[in-house]
């Protein structure tokens, strides 16, 4: 039972980590690039 619960939760944890890393990289690149250029990556 614990294994099935863990396998259900794991994708959410991975998605949260990916979103956090992506947000860190986007905030870093936002400092270097002008604000208008970030609109290209939102789609």
pLDDT in tens, 6-29: 889 999 999 999 999 999 988 887
Whether 43 shows a pLDDT value over 50: the answer reads no
Q: How far apart are CA 34 and CA 12, in angstroms?
A: 32
Question: Which residues touch 6 (CB under 8 Å, ≥6 apart)?
Answer: none
Q: What is the pLDDT of residue 29?
A: 79
pTM of the complete model: 0.48
Q: What is the pLDDT of residue 28?
A: 83
């Amino acid at each position: 039972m614990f294994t099935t619960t863990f396998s259900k939760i794991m994708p959410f944890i991975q998605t949260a980590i990916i979103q956090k890393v992506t947000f860190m990289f986007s905030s870093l690149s936002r400092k270097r690039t002008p604000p208008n250029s970030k609109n290209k990556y939102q789609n």
